[in-house]
Amino acid sequence: MSETGFEIPAEEPWTDQDLEKIGHLKEANASILQQIRKAVVGQDTVVRLTLISLFSKGHCLLMGVPGLGKTLLVRTLASGLSLKFARVQFTPDLMPSDITGTEVIQEDKATGERHFNFLPGPIFTNILLADEINRTPPKTQAALLEAMQEIQVTVGGDRRELEAPFFVLATQNPIEQEGTYPLPEAQLDRFMFQINVGYPTEDEERKILAMTTSGYQHEIEPVLAQEEILSLQNLVRKVTISEDVVSFILRLVRSTRSTADAPDVIKKWVNWGASPRASQNLVIGSKAVAILDGRNEVAMDDVIEVAHAVLGHRIIPNFAAEAEGVTSEVIVDELLRVVA
Amino acid sequence: MSEAKEIDPAEFYETFHAVRREVRKVVAGQEGVVEHLLASVFADGHVLLKGPPGLGRTLMVRTLAHVLGLEFRRIQFSPDLLPTDILGAEVLESNVSTGERKFRFFKGPVFANLILADEVNRSPTRTQAALLEVMQERQVTSVGHTYFLPKPFILIATQNTLETEGVWTLSEAQTDRFLMMIEQDYPQEDEERRMLRLTTGSGRLMPECVTDAETIQAMQRLAREVPVVPSVKDFALSIVRSSRPGESEAVEASRHDVRLGASPRAAQALLLSAKVLALARGRRHVTRQDVIGVTKPVMAHRLLMDVRAHAEGRGHQQVIDALIQQAKQKSLAETSKWTRELLKI
């Protein structure tokens, strides 16, 4: 039973209005960066990738040690985009209902009647910073991941929709600590990007000291409104992508899977390759890059810009690679060299 | 009770293919997977889906539920998931006007038609056992009260093939309760290309709901009534019996590589799913081809492979091929001599 009656839906055409919006976004992108610079020193790649995944409707996993200013960065981004912001510190005793909200019994003073009332949890926001997600047991992690995927939560049998845009930034501490629950591979796959946050350079650190230990106060002005962000998110999908670029993405992702014709770097170092979700995220991510730069067509460089963030956590190095200190970052670099 | 709905084979055929068409609007490729999944639904059996993460399983099952007009729930299994998280729990409730207090049962997520139990191998055995019991009994008993699950009730459990820490693999006795095990692999290049166009563009195809719970139950009843001639029954039995290494008719491959063959449940599963396939192919009786069409997913999880075979890279696929081959030869031996001469075998 193999007939090829497969339909591809027609793409929506571009309108002048759309192109105008893209032009506006390019300016907005510059002013967002300007606003963020007021509060955050350096971390340009992190800011850029965060914006890309926000416009792609994806979620991010930030890897980095504590104290690099991740919360400040996300909070600044939220005010620059006039979005609601909440932060949840994940702890070993955090329960799913601490995130999603609970039904509580409330008494009506006048009638003495008792009824259930829903108290929404911190997840009812636009930008959620889930700090140190690996410190919480799997059931609580699962509650967050499900909400991320579905943009809704189920509490007491009732489904409640979250407000759009909904964007999760989870942080994971790479330092091995006692009592941590690292996310398994299948759960990592649900994050569009994994962004590695590194230490600042000496100059940057000097500037941070100057900014944070003096009387310096910053005021963040909102650049984009919530509705604008929503319409731009929908516009991302309309960006044109040529068959060549799609082929490049497929070559890149498919070569990570340990098949007979995989490149040597994969055969030697990789245990498990990237899923089709990786190819999807490469397409959407590079479309968002194009739109942030004011273009309506994806270029090859756009794919390369997001390749590390998309593939880094989806390629699982094998034992030999770990023993020799070959990270997935090195593997992606090598792969880009071989495939491109 | 109202009178049960009846349906004829032509309607079965129409509905089956309408469902398939709608599901394929969002699922690129994976024709075999979709066909077997549907066969399982209409045979009223549970499914074990196996494969790497990120292949769009949730999307596929959710779409299937929508197209079938069934209520869908997804349960993510994790090491700290408890049986009550699946089944539901008793909660103390007080009535204000009378001051009376009593227990009320809050139904868990298992009370739906189509359940996706994601990564069942991440939960400890106690939680798995709770799920498997519900699968079999289709009811939940709590403090002496029995609560029935909605009909139809189909459970689709997934097991990740990725080796992760803290994995409790289902035991043979447990996997035997699943009608089929469907293995998914990464898509072909052209399938992945289509999938990219389908999921990352601005246009959307909306699958429509084409049937309802009542019709599905009627289809399940009809499937059970499809007649099977004795020779086809023997064919199915031969496949199952020759998978057992201890039987005299065992094939060479299973004698070598199989530690435990398929149970009698396998023969039931084989015939029942072949019946659905026959109707889906527009026939009113089961042929050997229908049996062969479902042999792999029905047998795959019922063959306990020897460790040595595993180490030497031989899987159940070779055994299943050998089983089909032998069953074919046996049934040919029964056909008359001139037929064989005509076919030159």
Do residues A331 and A321 lie in contact, with contact meaning Cβ atoms separated by under 8 Å?
yes
* pLDDT for res A194: 93
A222 to chain B, closest Cα gap in Å: 28
Q: Do A241 and B186 touch (CB under 8 A)?
A: no
Q: Residue A64: its pLDDT value, please? A: 83
For residue B197, the chain A residues in CB contact (below 8 A) are 8, 246
* Residue bearing the bigger pLDDT, A251 or B166: A251
- With a pLDDT cut of 90, the percent of chain B lying above it is 37
pLDDT, tens digit (0-9, with 9 covering 90-100), for B141-175: 887 788 999 989 999 999 876 655 557 788 888 88
DSSP bridge pairs for B73: B115
- Nearest CB to B202: which of A11, A186, A314? A11
Question: A67 — phi, psi (to 5°)?
Answer: 90, 15
* Band (A4; pLDDT cuts 50, 70, 90): very low
3-class SS of residue B77:
coil
For residue A11, give both structure tokens.
């793409």
Q: How confident is the model over A265-292, as pLDDT tens digits?
A: 887 888 888 889 999 999 999 999 999 9
Residues A184, B164: C-beta atoms closer than 8 Å: yes
Token couple for B24: 């394929």
Nearest to B75 by CA among B65, B87, B67, B90: B87
Q: Which domains, from first to last, does chain B contain?
A: 9-217 (3.40.50.300), 226-343 (1.10.8.80)
Q: How many Å lie between the alpha carbon of B319 and the closest alpha carbon of chain A?
A: 23
Mean predicted confidence (pLDDT) in A207-232: 84
Mutate to test the interface with A, among B202, B205, B281 (most CBs of A within 10 A): B202
Q: What is the least distance, in Å, from the CA of B264 to any CA of chain A?
A: 29
**Predicted ipTM of the assembly:** 0.80
What is the β-pairing status of strands B154-160 and B139-142? unpaired
A132: left (phi over 0), alpha (psi -120 to 50) or beta: left
From A154, A237, A254, residue closest to B189, measured CB to CB? A254
- What gap in Å lies between CA A153 and CA A144, rounded to an integer? 9
Q: What pLDDT is stored for residue A29 in this prediction?
A: 86
**Confidence grade of residue B3 (pLDDT, cut at 50, 70, 90):** low
Mutating which of B196, B198, B199, B208 best tests the A interface, going by the most A Cβ atoms within 10 A?
B196
Measured between beta carbons, which residues in chain A are less than 8 angstroms from residue B165? 184
Mutation to test the B interface, candidates A1, A149, A176, A284, most B Cβ within 10 Å? A1
For residue A175, what pLDDT is reported? 65
**Residue in B56, B94, B202 closest to A238 by CB:** B202
CA distance B245 to chain A (A): 33
Query: pLDDT tens for residues B247-305?
Result: 888 888 778 888 888 888 999 999 999 999 999 999 999 999 999 999 999 998 888 88
User: Mean pLDDT in chain A?
Assistant: 85
Domains and CATH numbers, chain A: 13-226 (3.40.50.300), 239-340 (1.10.8.80)
- What chain B residue is nearest to A245 in terms of C-alpha separation? B193
Residue of A nearest to B107 (CA): A157
Q: How distant is the alpha carbon of residue B217 from its chain centre?
A: 16
- Asked if residue A181 lies in contact with residue A137, where contact means CB atoms within 8 angstroms, the answer is yes
Has residue B204 got a pLDDT over 80? no
User: Average pLDDT of A3-32?
Assistant: 77
Contact A186 B28 (CB under 8 A): no
Check A284 against B200: CB less than 8 A apart: yes
CB-based contact B55 A275, cutoff 8 Å: yes
- How close, in Å, is residue A270 to chain B by CA atoms? 13
Cβ–Cβ < 8 Å for B38, B183: no
Nearest C-alpha neighbor of B259 from the set B301, B315, B303: B303
Name the one residue in this structure whose structure tokens are 């999908």: A237
pLDDT in tens, B26-50: 888 788 899 999 999 999 999 999 8
Long-range Cβ contact pairs of A16-20 (< 8 A, separation 24 or more): A18/A235, A18/A238, A18/A296, A19/A296
Instruction: Out of B24, B160, B200, name the one closest to residue A237 (CB).
Output: B200
C-alpha–C-alpha distance, residues A338 and A332, integer Å: 10
In chain A, what percentage of residues exceed pLDDT 90?
A: 24
SS (H, E, C) chain A: CCCCCCCCCCCCCCCHHHHHHHHHHHHHHHHHHHHHHHHCCCCHHHHHHHHHHHHCCCCEEEECCCCCCHHHHHHHHHHHCCCCEEEEECCCCCCHHHHHEEEEEEECCCCCCEEEEEEECCCCCCEEEEECHHHCCHHHHHHHHHHHHHCEEEECCEEEECCCCCEEEEEECCCCCCCCCCCCHHHHCCCCEEEECCCCCHHHHHHHHHHHCCCCCCCCCCCCCHHHHHHHHHHHCCCECCHHHHHHHHHHHHCCCCCCCCCHHHHHHEEECCCHHHHHHHHHHHHHHHHHCCCCECCHHHHHHHHHHHHCCCCEECHHHHHHCCCHHHHHHHHHHHHC
For an interface test with A, the pick among B24, B30, B76 (most A C-beta atoms closer than 10 Å) comes out as B76
H-helix or E-strand containing B115? strand B114-118
Determine whether the interchain pair A12/B200 forms a contact, defined as Cβ–Cβ distance below 8 Å. no
